[in-house]
Each structure stands twice: as structure tokens, then as C-alpha cells.
Amino acid sequence: MREILPTLERWYAAGIPFGLATVVAVSRSAPRGPGAAMAVGPDDEVVGSVSGGCVEGAVYELAQEVVAGGEARLATFGYSDEDAFAVGLTCGGEITLLVRPVTAAADPVFGAVAASVAAGEPVTVATVVDGPAPRGTTLAVWPGTEAGTLGTAGLDVAVTADARGELALGASVLRHYGPRGERREDAVTVFLQSFAPPPRMLVFGAIDYAAAVARIGEFLGYRVTVCDARPVFATPQRFPAGVEVVVAWPHRYLSDTGTDERTVICVLTHDPKFDVPLLREALRRPAAYIGAMGSRRTHDERRERLAEAGLSAAELARLRSPLGLDLGARTPEEVAVSVAAEIVALRWGGSGVPLTATTGAIHPPPAAL
């Protein structure tokens, strides 16, 4: 979608209706993931792709039909065993598409979304896929505001909260709700498409705890990198397949790596020759979370060394050490859960207190990211 938006924005600004097909679900070995898009515009011009060529002909016809009829449609394409040349995916997978007409009247927030994406501003677009809510209706959600409606106030509130959560992760997913946003119902299916890259998790120290933290980081939607100066430990075989493993001195790697306000940095080396130069670099750059492993004695000694290295009290106050919440964790996997819990609590302003000891709304309206 991101690649074809300039063309779509031009059509939209000119008041030209176009049909937009978006992949909202995939299974098995589908060639394109959720969010992939294809559009059919004026003079039968086509931009984008939803399958790499397998079903584009059929999608082209559907897009023309929804523009002519004015109503969004849902279509699923899979492999055809009977005829290799039938409309289907030769890879054996299955994709579900939402094909909808886009005009200023049908989608009044499209222009604002396109402008935000062009400017590099994060935004999530929630689109009704199925259910009693009008199919193809959109709600745009930015970190601090939203525009549009899915039909009911309750549904808008629930979807807005989830959209901000997915925006923080740069994820695109299907969610299910009741007609008024009820969480345990599935009458309404909504596709949340986030225009933001996944946040990064940088894990330093290729130990058993790092493998567990990397695994749960992937589960939470982070793009995870593990870095260690010791090649005997920093081997891809010790970590999940999707985790990048780098052999380098930690502080040198971090100094050459971009971070932002969503980046998570976990320092698990608890060795002064690695920790001090690494944390000196980390605490002076943008990051959502900077945590370091070690005993309380290690923490005190580490703070002294960092202060001697010139870090201010304000910079040292950013350090979460010892990292993690007090869960009584013992195993690497349990420690990873405690670290993830602290990261989530810090992101959304959670207290870390058991819900049985709290009052009020369990999911209060989130603050701007």
C-alpha cells in the first residue's frame, strides 16, 4: 500500500473514483502478506499487486465492479486442483481480499491518511471487513487523534484503543468485536492496517536469557537484534529464526544503529567492559526502554562507573536496573516474561500491580504514544 499511495492520493485529490483491493488475511504459503494492495483507476490503470500475478486478473474485474456498484466486497482466492490455469494461487496458499470503492464521500479520511504516510507520520486505518457495520467503512487513528467512524461510538472506542496498540508495533491484523465494541463477540470483523515500521528490540549479550528475551520480543511484534562481541556465543543457531544476530562490540554497534522513541534496549551482559560504554551510549539517545541485568550490587557499581564516565542524574534515571518486574522469576523464560511485562507497563502507563488490587477501568483511554 505504501508504495502505491502517491498514485492513489493523486486520483483521490482529483475526485476520480478507484477500486482498492487489500489483502486482509492469508494462510499457508500466500505470496503477499496482510496490507498488500492493488488499485484500479481511470482508463483502467492498475497499480500494486496482491499475489504476484496469480489472481490479479480476477481482482481487476472485481475492482471495476465495486466502483460501478458502489459497494465493497470480500473475496477469497486459493489453489485450484482441477485446473492449473483457473483463478487461484499456484503456491497452494489462500488470501482474502477486501475490495472497496474509494471516493471522498465513501472514504472521507483517505486524503489525511495519505498525507500522513507521505510525511512519515504513524497512522493506523481501521476498515470494516464483515458484519452489521457497513463494509468498507474506515476510521483513521493517529497517536493523539482519530477521524471517521465505524458506525457506533462503542465500536469506535474499542477499535481506536486496539489501533493504537497495533500502531505501536507497526502491525496489521484482523480484530473481532460486537456491534458496539464488545470484546468477546465476533459479529464485526475489522482490519487494522498500520503505517509504521515495527519497533526495534536490541538485546546485548548472547546468553540463555537473551534467547528467551528475543523470543518474547518477536512475539510482541518487535524486530529483534542480538549483539555480542564473542562469536562463540553470537550464533544464529541459538536464537529464533527471525532474530538478527550480530558479532560486534556492543557500544560500537549501537553507535552506528538508529534508535527512536519506540526502541527497546536490553543489556544482559553484566560485564563492566561491555556495560559501561554501551549504557553511556544508550542513555544519551532516544529509546522507550533501557534495561540492564544484574544484582543490586552490580547495579550500584554500574551506576558509580557510569557517573564517573560523565552521565548526569537525569540520564541515569532512564536506566531500568535491575530490569524486569518482580514476578519471582527464576528461569530464562520467566525472566523474559518479567522484562516484557515491564516494557508493556512502561509503554501504556501500567502500574504492575495485580488487577485484583486496583479499581476503575482496566483499559483506560491510552495517552498519545
Tens of pLDDT, residues 74-105:
998 875 544 334 455 555 567 899 999 999 99
| Side-chain half-sphere exposure of 199, counting CA atoms within 13 A | 25
This prediction's pTM = 0.66
| Cβ count within 10 A of residue 234 | 19
Average pLDDT of 294-314? 94
Which of 32-46, 300-314, 320-334 is predicted least confidently? 32-46
Average pLDDT of 122-131? 95
Tens of pLDDT, residues 274-293:
999 999 999 999 999 999 99
Tens of pLDDT, residues 13-33:
999 999 999 999 887 655 567
Average pLDDT of 315-321? 96
